[in-house]
Amino acid sequence: MSGPEARAAVAARAVPVSNLDDVRAAEDHHVATDAGPLRVRVYHPHGTGEDRPAVLFLHGGGFVFCSVESHDGFCRSLSRALEAVVVSVDYRLAPEHPAPAAADDAVAALSWTQDNAAALGVDPARVVVAGDSAGGNLAAVTALRARDRRPALAGQVLLYPVVEPDFESESYQRYATGHFNTRAAMEWYWTQYLGGQPATTPLPEPPEHVVPSRAPSLSGLAPAVVVTAGRDPLASEGRRYAGLLRDAGVPVRHRHYPDLFHGFATIGPFPAAAAARELLWHDVRRLLGPAHAEVGGPTKENHDQLIR
């Protein structure tokens, strides 16, 4: 199956968004970049106020499919839960646009968000970058590329991120098939992202703009929240990256859910996922500042979720 065919198949399975009223408004903007206009969708929470926190969100989809539409419901929930402006990025997809096109778009969207903070009602010093799966890769790469940017990022939120094409890891060996993600699928995604080349070939330079774990140094990066799922081929690389960040002196909160699977955070009517999202909201509020951390903390029932 080609990239466009896979994209069409995924889009055909989309379900209507049921939480339109979670936000006051959602509007599309087009960011001028060297590669042409880049669409972003901006979600404004209910209420009034300036200097709100913001989340730059990068959707998953193996670098090949999904869009601002596929993650529209999740971004609305995110905006409502955090009382934050969410900027969702419709970055260029592989294989038509191989690495590092998507990461370049993510960095351009971050610059646009902070440069237009006043018009968006955003505090430019309270911006976190977040993403799920392949979007977690792009969020990690954006945090790397924005390391010296001022104002600095307030945090990076990596949901079961794709950070290292190590197909021999423990979790790849244990969960090569089933559970909504497979080794074969991940090998195909990486090949698409790398312009038709397998992940075993030399990476584009610099390699950390594609594989963030290959960075010469991770010191000085924004504080991180890393979420991993036990029944996911990506679990080992997510755990390893959290450890690398911590070893580099980066504040890290790592939540590991042993019995959950890849993609669980964006599944709406699923009790275990809902409980995990409540913890996620709490962790992101902590990144955004004390005033937000006090709102909606974890409940007695879920506070014992494993934190490493």
Shortest CA distance to 227 belongs to which of 172, 300, 277?
Answer: 277
How many helices (H) and strands (E) would you count in the chain? 10, 8
Q: Which of 22, 72, 104, 232 is catalytic?
A: 232
Select from 11, 297, 62, 34 the least CA-distant residue to 186: 62
The residue among 89, 70, 101 whose CA lies nearest residue 8 is 70
Tokens of residue 42, six digits: 């901006």
Q: Specify whether 104 is catalytic.
A: no
Residue that is written with structure tokens 């778009």 in the block: 105
Position 16, amino acid: P
Residues across the chain:
308
Q: Reply yes or no on whether 232 is catalytic.
A: yes
Residues 250, 129: Cα–Cα separation, whole Å: 15
Q: Say how far apart CA 241 and CA 261 lie, in whole Å.
A: 18
E-strand stretches of 21-64: 25-33, 36-44, 52-58
Active-site residue, from 67, 88, 133, 169: 133
Residue 147 tokens, joined: 């390391």
| Angle value at C-alpha 227, between 253 and 57, nearest 5 degrees | 100
Of 109, 121, 26, the C-alpha closest to 71 is 26
Which member of 209, 262, 282, 292 is catalytic?
Answer: 262
**Rounded Cα–Cα distance for residues 170 and 235 (Å):** 9
- Give the span between the Cα atoms of 154 and 94, in whole angstroms: 29
Cα dihedral 186/187/189/192 (nearest 10): 180
With H, G, I as helix, E, B as strand and everything else as coil, classify residue 229: strand
Catalytic positions, written as ranges: 133, 232, 262
